[in-house]
Amino acid sequence: MIPVTPNSSSRSSRIGAQPVVLAALSLLLILCGAASIALWRAYSGTSPETDRAIAARALQARATQASEQLVEKTKGLEQTQQESIDQLQVLQDQLQTMRRLLAAQQADTKRLSEQVTSLTEAVDGMRQSFASVQSSDSSPAAATRNRSLRTRAHHALRSAQRRVKPRS
């Protein structure tokens, strides 16, 4: 067995016997730390809370500015899109007009082609009748009559060609 010495027990009994002093010392140490932090903040002039508030406000301002820019860009895109739609509608109207004009021009061409065909047939008929008349009659009176037929056919052909000429 180990004998108990009065020296070792007096130390633990002193610490256990004076808890108020130990608590007071701990409280004093905590108060000194808090006071030093307060003095440090007071003399340095900066506070983390104000820095955080300033940073939060700056971040909020940047977010607001970015959202305003997005709204402006969206409005610009909407306007550009509407202009494009309007231009497309104008082009579609022009295309429809051109189609109508093309159809009318094709109808005119067909009509004129039919007129040329009928005139060509008339001229061929006149040539055949002229040839048959010329072969049966070689008299001077027939030659005069043939000349008048030729002049009439020639004038009819010229007037048909004038009507067929494309319009500008």
Q: pLDDT tens, 128-157?
A: 888 888 777 655 555 555 667 778 777 777
Q: How far is it, in rounded angstroms, from Cα 109 to Cα 107? A: 5
pLDDT of 42 above 80: no
Q: What pLDDT, on the 0 to 100 scale, is given for residue 146? A: 61
In a domain, 125, yes or no: yes
Segment 18-37 shows an average pLDDT of 91
- Token readout for 157 is 């052909």
Domains held by the chain: number: 1
Segment 94-103 shows an average pLDDT of 97
Asked whether 146 and 133 are in contact (CB, 8 A), the reply is yes
Q: Tell me, what amino acid is at 147?
A: R
In a domain, 10, yes or no: no
In a domain, 31, yes or no: no
Q: How far is it, in rounded angstroms, from Cα 48 to Cα 52? A: 6
In a domain, 136, yes or no: yes
Distances 88 to 4, 31, 82, 83, 95 between C-alpha atoms, Å: 108, 79, 10, 9, 10
* Alpha-carbon dihedral sign for residues 92, 98, 104, 106: negative
pLDDT band at 77 (very low <50, low <70, confident <90, very high): very high
Range of the domain at 167: 96-168
In a domain, 7, yes or no: no
In a domain, 44, yes or no: no
Segment 19-45 shows an average pLDDT of 88
pTM to 2 decimals? 0.40
Segment 113-142 shows an average pLDDT of 81
In a domain, 143, yes or no: yes
In a domain, 121, yes or no: yes
